[in-house]
A and B are shown apart, each in its own frame.
Chain A
Amino acid sequence: AAEEGGPCQSKMAGADGDDSLYPIAVLIDELRNEDVQLRLNSIKKLSTIALALGVERTRTELLPFLTDTIYDEDEVLLALAEQLGNFTMLVGGPEYVHCLLPPLESLATVEETVVRDKAVESLRKISQEHSPVDLEVHFEPLVKRLASGDWFTSRTSACGLFSVCYPRVSSTVKAEIRQHFRTLCSDDTPMVRRAAASKLGEFAKVLELDYVKSDIISLFTALASDEQDSVRLLAVEACVSIATLLPQEDLETLVMPTLRQAAEDKSWRVRYMVADKFSELQKAVGPEITKNDLVPAFQNLLKDCEAEVRAAAANKVKEFCENLPEDNREQIIMTHILPCVKELVSDTNQHVKSALASVIMGLSTILGKDNTIEHLLPLFLAQLKDECPEVRLNIISNLDCVNEVIGIRQLSQSLLPAIVELAEDAKWRVRLAIIEYMPLLAGQLGVEFFDEKLNTLCMAWLIDHVYAIREAATCNLMKLVEKFGAEWAQNTIVPKVLGMANDPNYLHRMTTLFCINVIVHCCGYPYREITTKQMLPVVLKMSNDQVANVRFNVAKSLQKIGPVLDSNALQTEVKPVLEKLASDTDMDVKYFAQEAISGECLSSSTIVDKLNT
């Protein structure tokens, strides 16, 4: 605190002192302030400091200081690592970019993964600014130092740097880099092997094809059969990149044995990874291998004994089917995939069912009208009756796919009970979720069906005992009015909403006001008749309500209604009411009434007047 009191008050403007130095001096001093926030601020303005010091002092004084300040809090180190990635010009341009390596090297060995990753990201960035000579003289030795570091933190960081220097160095250095990568792939600590496995695909991309076949494949095979499943599962990701690099004819011998093994791995986490990456794998290996190998593998994953794996596979059903070769897509789906899908509909695990429900509707566009009606429809109907609300919700939220293929009418008989049940679910979050799908359903089912079957539900939500539901129901009304138009609103919604103005429960009376606010908003000027003739009198009458909350909401509503009224109505009807409210005994009512008066265009002419003239 003394710091703030001191020199800041006697702001320097002396004859000797240099005005422009003062703020920089503060920034530099705050690099070592006790308050983390101040240090962080200073680090974030490191470029200002460097600019003031000039390139030479930045290189010789600032960077050595920063190299040793790795004791700091993570957030400061993270900011520093990021700053240094953009520092090339501040140290004198590409010629001197290697001066940034020491601080980034020490940041690449700290224990916090986020900081290390950021340091590696910055190192990758500045590697591009090194000349080919500097890259070999300065950058590559740093990579080697990290790769042979004592602690695994530095070795993990090295894994991310090979791919950026490899393309730009001589063939001897290339050979060394490959050797280093190979060593890290068989490191003692699983941390390093994981880092190597996760960078394998990226490194493969910059290697010459011959080396991909000779080096990478053996490393890939070794990592994919590592004793630690946390390493094996990362090899699955590498599989995607490697498969894209190899010519089709080599895939069978070089990649597929490993992939098959991963799909049947003893550890569920590895199989989960295969399921999770299935679409990418499918694209990488191409249609022929997909037909022969991936289809049976996918069937097995859908029938896996671990629910997590089944759920991941179920999530991919639509994508997998979409990407099947078109010539016999339908046949593969009908004979191989659909039987498994049918079983999943009655799975014992609700996450599996709900994952399936979120994609299953997508199959209808692929299979066409007849198959959908014959084979998929019974599944949809079964899921609509599922005991788990999430499954039903997922089906309802994807109705649009089916609507396009067979029309929603096929489903409507089952849809309605499902919706009604969700609408009355004991959990308010479930009710909230179904409300959010109402506008979509209304659009697909049409106004007639809606009025007949769903309107009552929408109105019932307005008097739900949970505020979040009433709020969502109000918002739902707005969307319905936008969809069906003001005329529909006038006939179906407005009378019911206005009816609630006399409800004994003041929360319901407030809901009336909230609904009026949104209806005014979407009907707007062209339908101002609804507002002036029907809604305004009710609002004005409510200003006499005995509950203060209702009264100040009247003030708020009047402010919203104002713009669509003409100045006559404003002056003769609205203004007196607001003035009365402005002298209310309740201070909130007063406040909002005054807000409305000053916000209202009571004194000047309104939009309506302008339009009329």
Chain B
Amino acid sequence: MAGPGGDMQWCFSQVKGAIDDDVAEADIISTVEFNHTGELLATGDKGGRVVIFQQEIENKSQPQFRSEYNVYSTFQSHEPEFDYLKSLEIEEKINKIRWLPQKNAAQFLLSTNDKTIKLWKISERDKRPEGYNLKEEDGRYKDPNTITSLRVPVLIPMDLMVEASPRRVFANAHTYHINSISVNSDNETYLSADDLRINLWHLEITDRSFNIVDIKPANMEELTEVITAAEFHPHQCNTFVYSSSKGTIRLCDMRASALCDKHSKLFEEPEDPSNRSFFSEIISSISDVKFSHNGRYMMTRDYLSVKIWDLNMENRPVETYQVHEYLRSKLCSLYENDCIFDKFECCWNGNDSVVMTGSYNNFFRMFDRGHRRDVTLEASRENSKPMQVLKPRKVCAGGKRKKDEISVDSLDFNKKILHTAWHPQDNIIAVATTNNLYIFQDKVN
């Protein structure tokens, strides 16, 4: 594909969610994730619900309308709970969703809130049994005296029904809030990370998990950093990384020992002393880490930038992209309104040539790695006519504002795009604004 700043244009495809400006807290989208084929797209929200969209079979007569995503299944994954021992409320908010590689006709995903991870099965049923011995199909009982022969039920076709059923509940292993889950390439284990620990689970065993990283100091007053994200390598089953609030990423090799306290690689960029400020540590905290599909690189997102690291080079990233550098002068007010603690996620496109991440004012950014080009796009109701091409946006960083530019001061910091996802093969992206899910795709000429 060509770069997003170059030949390719993105156009609006769909928007999901309520239109009114009144946003119910429970409807706020908290995670977005495509499955491995891209046929299904899952979202989780603050109300503990998971909504799965399915891509329709392509419509041959209207090639410009590529397969749309429609609701396939909706279910309540987590309920609010109360921890009586600690007098703490446990929110139902879905922090992360991860799809499992497909193992049979059904689909499986892991969803997690702060404390409990659940394995869900989403399966289809298109047949139902018919025929009772002792009652009619409508439920009325037959006179038992009339039974002169036995009847075996038969299965007859019915309208497709999609069922979501909880298969496993992985609970009671996290003292702190779970921020990441990641399925291992061995297809039988996964990790879950909270602020201070990472646990390793077997997908079929719920009563036991192994602690593989523990950074909790003996004395909590000595605590200087927390784990912010963790992910398994896409192919090497023994390798995983975790990022910290200090801006470092540690790569661990599970072959070396059972407890991965000692990392095998530490990725860290020396700080530029000229940029040092009160906010340095806060903005260097990594909010997301993602391996590239080919497993050679990983991408990290901190408050102002996206960095691409080559796994073979620990001392600095190979690429750094500024997401919204114009906010550097605004850090003070962003600290006051807590925006500085927003956790932006990031994602790769299917062939690792473009990366995408979110910003404020419902803007999201794409960086074309090969062409060193970037673009700012907006997810908004105004641009939501079918196949409407998204116009690149520009923020004026100071000086004289040109036509079509938006001044930094007029950005709406309540409209933030934290969660985005890219179809594993195609140029289809899902972008979550507060309570809407936008789907965009490249323009087919």
Contact = CB atoms under 8 A, between A and B. Distances in A.
A65 B153 contact: yes
Contacts of A113: 204
B158 interface: no
Contacts of B154: 61, 64-65
A268 B134 contact: no
Contacts of A305: 257
Interface string B136-151: 0001011111111111
Interface in A264-317: 265-269, 305-308
B150 A52 contact: yes
Given A65-B153, A189-B187, A25 B141 contact: no
B132 interface: yes
Contact of B152 (A17, A65, A71, A151): A65
Given A113-B204, A190-B237, A228-B185, A12 B147 contact: yes
Interface string B118-140: 00010101010100111100010
Q: How large is the interface on B (under 10, 10 to 19, 20 to 34, 35 or more residues)?
A: 35 or more
A191 B185 CA distance: 10
Contact of B134 (A7, A111, A227, A269): A7
Contacts of A154: 104
B218 interface: no
Given A65-B129, A230-B188, A267-B238, A26 B145 contact: no
B149 A21 contact: yes
A306 B108 CA distance: 35
A599 B101 CA distance: 66
B202 to A, nearest CB: 11
B188 A61 contact: no
Contacts of A32: 129, 153
A26 B134 contact: yes
A35 interface: no
Nearest to B129: A32
A68 interface: yes
Interface in A587-607: none
A153 interface: yes
Contacts of B26: none
Given A25-B134, A57-B152, A230 B186 contact: yes
A109 B104 CA distance: 7
Contact of A268 (B129, B186, B256): B256
B258 interface: yes
B103 interface: yes
A111 B109 CA distance: 13
Contacts of A11: 144
B406 interface: no
B103 A152 contact: yes
Interface in B336-367: none
Contact of B146 (A13, A16, A189): A16
Interface in B174-218: 185-188, 204
B144 A189 contact: no
B155 interface: yes
A17 B236 contact: no
Contacts of A151: 102-105
A321 to B, nearest CB: 26
Interface in A463-498: none
A6 B141 contact: yes
A17 B188 contact: no
A21 B150 contact: yes
Give the most central of A31, A32, A57: most B CB within 10 Å: A32
A500 B102 CA distance: 69
Nearest to A230: B186
A339 B134 CA distance: 77
B237 A268 contact: no
B145 A111 contact: no
Interface string A1-29: 01000110011111111100110111011
A29 B133 contact: yes
Contacts of A21: 147-150
Contacts of A14: 143-146
Contacts of A12: 144-145, 147
Given A29-B132, A267-B254, A268-B258, 4 more contacts: A7-B135, A24-B150, A152-B103, A230-B237
Interface of A: 2, 6-7, 10-18, 21-22, 24-26, 28-29, 31-32, 52-53, 57, 61-62, 64-65, 68-69, 71, 109-111, 113, 151-154, 189-191, 194, 227-230, 265-269, 305-308
26 contacts: A2-B139, A6-B135, A7-B134, A7-B135, A7-B142, A12-B145, A12-B147, A17-B148, A21-B148, A25-B134, A31-B153, A57-B152, A65-B152, A65-B153, A69-B129, A69-B155, A71-B125, A111-B103, A111-B106, A113-B204, A153-B103, A153-B104, A190-B187, A191-B103, A191-B187, A306-B257
Which 10 residue pairs of A and B lie closest in terms of their CB atoms, listed nearest first?
A14-B145, A12-B144, A267-B255, A25-B133, A61-B152, A6-B141, A17-B145, A151-B104, A7-B144, A153-B104
